[in-house]
Chain A
Amino acid sequence: MQLSFAVNGRDVRLEVAPTDRVSDVLRDRLGLTATKVGCDAGDCGACTILIDGEIACGCLTAVAQVEGAKIETAEGLKENGALDRLQRSFLRHGAAQCGICTPGMLMAAKALLDENPRPDRGAVEDALGGVLCRCTGYRRIVDAVMDAGNSSDAGVIPEAGASVGAAIRHLDGEPKVTGALVFAADRVPDDAAAVRVIRSPHHFARFTIGDKQKFLKAHAGIELFLDASDIPGRNLFGAIPGFVDQPVFAEGVARYRGEAVAAIAGERESVSRIDESDFPVQWEVLEPALTPDDAMNGSMSRLHRERPGNILVRGRVERGDADRALKKAAHTVAVATSTPFIEHAYIEPEAGYAVRKGGRIEIFGCTQAAQMDRDGIAEIMGMDKRDIRVKPSACGGGFGSKIDISFQPYVALAAWRLGRPAALCYSRGDSMRSTTKRHPSRISLKVGCDADGLISGFDFNGVFDTGAYASWGPTVASRVPIHASGPYFMADYRATSVAVHTNGPPSGAFRGFGVPQSAVAQETAFDELADLAGIDRLEFRLKNALRNGQETVSGQKFAKGVGIAACLEALKPAWKTANARARRFNGKADGSRLRKGVGLGSCWYGCGNTALPNPSTIRMGLTRSGTLVLHQGAMDIGQGSNTVITQMAADAFGVPVHSIELVGGDTDLTPDCGKTSASRQTFVTGMAAKRAGEALRKMVLRRANVAGSARIRLAGQSIELEDARTTTTIDLGAIEPNEFGYVFMAEETYDPPTTPLDEKGQGVPYAVYGYGAQLMELTVDRSLGTVRLERITTAHDVGRAINPMLVECQIEGGVAQGIGMALMENYVPGRTENLHDYLIPTFGDMPEFDNIIIEVEDEIGPFGAKGLGEHVLIPTAPSILNAIRDATGAIVRDLPATPDKVLAAIHAAQKEK
């Protein structure tokens, strides 16, 4: 039907299908891609627009219903070409991290501010409560909306040499608040074929694919039917060499619900109209093993021939004699904890497209690891990796899952075969069913201490459900035993782990690689142990905190930089006032249903790959016209590497950060900075950037023969170098550029110094660790088992805060994910495959924040910096469980601590009394 409406003040007239979703019409027909699609079900609010002044989900609105209406989208926010106050406030507060939810947030905020220009926190939360964010923890978004009336706008613009440590705004922030940033699904070429993947609806099934030709003949517009037989190279992908075991298309047997068995490609309309039941696939359902117990002990057959007992890999770290120490211990505590699958739930589902260019393939889409994608696709396509180009789009959240390959092989194969672009945008269901999850865990821990409260024996075993394929299972199994001690000194220690295959989705990388799960056991056990020993819970942690010069459980010693004691010390004032506040409240409210509690959690986390190389290479160059270019390949998935890596490069070279131009992670243009994972970018890529900046500086100074301390000034086509004696000018135009177009260029690589671990897990697994501790205050309703988080005080040792604002952004976002893990998140294949059954925290579920940044300089890290990205979520869940116990005596060990479990635990605790 033909209809007309107005968008951002412009009248449009279109021929549409009446039930087309308004979000699709805006994006696909009008090119207005600031309106994002995150779920197509009204669960995430990313598509929030204004219809006649009222907010609505574009994905739930039939276009026929907007006939004659006025629609407003984020593209219309700018005033006279300049950012409006709300957009500027978002930048000022760092309220946009990955940026995918930002347009929806802005529209909901605009509707509020139009009615109420001075809203309080509660009003902002209520008004924006229908939009989910997975990066920020919401606090800064609320701050930004409340502060939108403020016209003061001076940001921090540091001078040359003063970038490191400056809380500058995100360098890549502006396109996030205008909605102009191009995410994976935002620029599908008009002539692209649509690809659709056919997935197993069963946890475990044999299957046969019927007559493909017949199917193609019967369905006009479908041009390709792809299955395992169509893979030109190796029908496998994986994260870790030696563990590459996941087929692009399953061959005869599908090992998890959501596994790809085939794909079709063709004209978009035809592809989307195909009913799933039309696919010529016959299933023979097999009995699945959905828990490690079933997989290891039952009559379960091997999911992978070469892995008896369905055991993927085991891990072990051991020193001293844990059994003897436990026997000697004055007090011991034994705990058993369990956690479920946890979904990354980034608001941007996987998406992208591929184009064949002669003998090459170019892939555009979201990723955390462009170079790994390139190498993986080359294997699958049987091509030289130089013939694959990966051009990363903006990445709307990753948190670990977008390290692995998802959409890439399907679009590459289809584009190669069709000779025209091929695109694939995952639905929310596709994304949740098929991509990796956090490993479910079952942990048993026995830990003792002597009469003085010093740890005496620690015996840990963790069983991790690694799902149907390896992905990052080996990393989880190796990281956990190294980290299970927490940031404490332990002479007698044994930690073992096993990663077990089941018919669950592949468990892979998710912020913390198993350590958040192990910290739940260790940190909750510490509270009980401290109580048994009669020692204050904070003092107990301080007593045992690892110090400089003490050996870690893997036998590593740091002369400086061990920051956990500083973090715990920093929490002392908050600990005192929080406990007093809780005691006062509980004393007054005796017998009432509300109880306040205070809980602590600590963390440490090694930055970079575990005892394996993981180099980053940074290229920096000066063009003839005087542009300073930084090839920054550390994928910015919202965490801020585009900003902090540039800050470090700027100081190393000696110019203001805002004078640097960025080139992103395009594999044709930018050297490998490794994956955005393992909290490694600030440290590893930061080191490479620092070295590249310093090398480039040396080159320039040498050319002019000036002192090392000379000041560099970029002045158009020339550089001015000023030292104590003279000012020298280099005419860049007079220098012949190299093959990359640079007249000066430096390329530097950094790989952290680690050593392999011996059979007892002893060695140097990481060059740098970061540390942190968090203190949660909450209220428990003892009659309903509900938990209200009130305030969190965080203290994270980042060595050196390259950008204090971005440090806080990371902390708040990590805490939000820790809250989800503690209280609500539970991915059940076949049951919670959407964002209304799978719950992540909303605006109303967050505490107030008080962040204390600790800077205990690292011996190795750039400018003394340590990694932070994963650390921040590790202490949160245990701090919540400890606070619930503090408030009520209730011990919940099976996450998430939903109200039913909390109430049952409260009743159990009351009975015990």
Chain B
Amino acid sequence: MNFSRPDRLDDALSLLAGGEWTILSGGTDFYPALGDRRPQGNVLDISAIGALRGISEHDDHWRIGALTTWSDVARARLPAAFEGLQLAALEIGSIQIQNRATVAGNICNASPAADGVPPLLTLDAVVRLSCARGTRDVALAEFATGNGTTVLRADELVTDLVVPKAAARGRSGFVKLGARKYLVISLTMVAARLDWDDRGVVTQAAISVGSCSLVAQRLPALERELIGRSVSRDLAGLVKAAHFAALSPIDDVRASSTYRLQATIELVRRALADLAPGGR
């Protein structure tokens, strides 16, 4: 077994170009995935690459470094559009997890129940991938391809999440439903972001749902329905079952598929009502 803990991105990328590595950063998915086994193969610990941690504002976008922890996200001073993301940060495992688990790790683990993904989807987040040969951007909506699978190639590393300023507008929220209060895997979760103009007309609507399909999804039909409406708690009344047709929630020990769908519809209604002026 080889182990490497470079502090420069270039070094990490050239190692990746030269062989197969398992990436370790916060460790909060790395160790549970081992079960009772010991780590095997080569481990590339990227946690020392300081340049990949932190949130920064740029001309036309916000950048969230891959190694930014969820506690960093929760503590950051960010526009109201990020509130959903910040609420989600507080629901990822426990504080012990949030202090070490990274934004990129949550995305790369590609769990259908990844709490960080729905709010990032509402922010039109783009995943920046780097390898020794260069960099490419992939929309977050296209990053995960299934339960545990992504478009990430073996020689690539997620370096940043980019949130265009065009999407960092308005207010946002996040609601997670579990069978207990703390340390719980979502039965379903909803993130929502709304922006409206001076006259109170909705100009942007971004609604996403996690834990109800292999990959978290936006609800474009509902979003279209909302745009152009006057913002108020009555927006909740526009939510219809048909808007959720693309979801395919599973039946399992945590909840029935029927329930997941019913609860999701209810959560979306509540999220919209909460975002409207006078909500929450």
Contact = CB atoms under 8 A, between A and B. Distances in A.
Answer yes or no: do A and B interact.
yes
Interface of A: 1, 17-19, 21, 40-43, 45, 48, 51, 54-57, 59-62, 64-65, 108, 111, 125-127, 129-132, 272-273, 275-276, 427, 429-430, 783-786, 823-824, 826, 828, 831-832, 836-837, 839, 841-845, 898-900, 903-904
B179 A273 contact: no
Interface stretch (B37-45, B119-127, B158-166): B37-45
Contacts of A839: 179-180, 184
Interface stretch (B195-203, B225-233, B252-260): B252-260
B153 interface: no
A151 to B, nearest CB: 27
A43 B94 CA distance: 9
A903 B32 contact: no
Contacts of A55: 95-96, 99
Contact of B31 (A59, A127, A272, A832): A59
Contacts of B177: 784, 786, 899
A491 B149 CA distance: 64
A129 B179 contact: no
A61 B31 CA distance: 8
B47 A48 contact: no
For the complex of A and B, 7 pairs with smallest distance between CB atoms: A130-B94, A844-B181, A900-B259, A129-B182, A842-B182, A41-B32, A900-B255
Contacts of A826: 253
27 contacts: A40-B32, A40-B36, A45-B96, A48-B96, A51-B99, A55-B95, A57-B28, A57-B94, A60-B28, A60-B100, A61-B27, A62-B24, A65-B45, A65-B47, A108-B96, A129-B94, A129-B183, A276-B37, A430-B36, A784-B263, A784-B267, A826-B253, A836-B183, A837-B185, A841-B180, A844-B182, A899-B187
Contacts of A841: 180
A784 B266 contact: yes
Given A427-B36, A837-B253, A898-B254, A129 B31 contact: no
A767 B177 CA distance: 47
B268 to A, nearest CB: 12
Contacts of B181: 125, 129, 842-845
B39 A19 contact: yes
Interface residues of B, number: 46
A65 B5 CA distance: 9
Secondary structure call for the B interface = loop
A843 B95 CA distance: 13
Contact of B97 (A42, A126, A823): A42
B110 to A, nearest CB: 17
Contacts of A831: 253
Contacts of B19: none
Nearest to A57: B96
A111 B71 CA distance: 14
B32 A828 contact: no
Nearest to A903: B259
Given A56-B96, A842-B182, A844-B180, 10 more contacts: A40-B31, A42-B93, A45-B96, A45-B183, A57-B97, A60-B100, A131-B94, A272-B38, A831-B253, A836-B183
Contacts of A900: 187, 255-256, 258-260, 263
B173 to A, nearest CB: 16
Contacts of B95: 55, 108, 111, 126-127, 129-130
B90 to A, nearest CB: 8
* Listed residue (B31, B43, B96, B187) with the most chain A CB atoms within 10 angstroms of its CB: B96
B35 interface: yes
A522 B267 CA distance: 36
B179 A899 contact: yes
Nearest to B93: A42
Contacts of A430: 36
A842 B262 contact: no
A899 B255 CA distance: 8
A21 B39 CA distance: 11
B149 to A, nearest CB: 21
A56 B36 contact: no
A565 to B, nearest CB: 35
B71 A54 contact: yes
Contacts of A51: 99
Interface string B186-220: 01000000000000000000000000000000000
A904 B259 contact: yes
A48 B267 CA distance: 33
A18 B43 contact: yes
Contacts of B94: 42, 45, 57, 129-131
* Listed residue (A56, A276, A904) with the most chain B CB atoms within 10 angstroms of its CB: A56
Contacts of B5: 18, 64-65
Interface in B34-78: 35-39, 43, 45, 47-48, 71
A42 B28 contact: yes
A109 B253 CA distance: 33
A824 B179 contact: yes
Contacts of A126: 95
A751 B32 CA distance: 48
Contacts of B45: 18, 62, 64-65
Nearest to A900: B259
Contacts of B262: 903
B174 to A, nearest CB: 16
Contacts of B38: 272-273
Contacts of A42: 28, 31-32, 93-94, 96-97
Nearest to B45: A64
Contacts of B185: 836-837
Contacts of A48: 96
Contacts of B253: 826, 828, 831-832, 837
Contacts of B35: 429
Contacts of A427: 36
Interface in B133-179: 177, 179
Given A18-B5, A19-B24, A783 B266 contact: yes
Contacts of A786: 177
Contacts of B47: 65
Contacts of A56: 96, 99-100
Nearest to B90: A126
Contacts of A785: 259, 263
Contacts of B259: 785, 899-900, 903-904
Nearest to A104: B96
B97 A842 contact: no
A824 B180 contact: yes
A842 B180 contact: yes
B99 A54 contact: yes
Nearest to B179: A824
Contacts of A836: 183, 185
A125 to B, nearest CB: 8
Contacts of B97: 42, 57, 60, 130
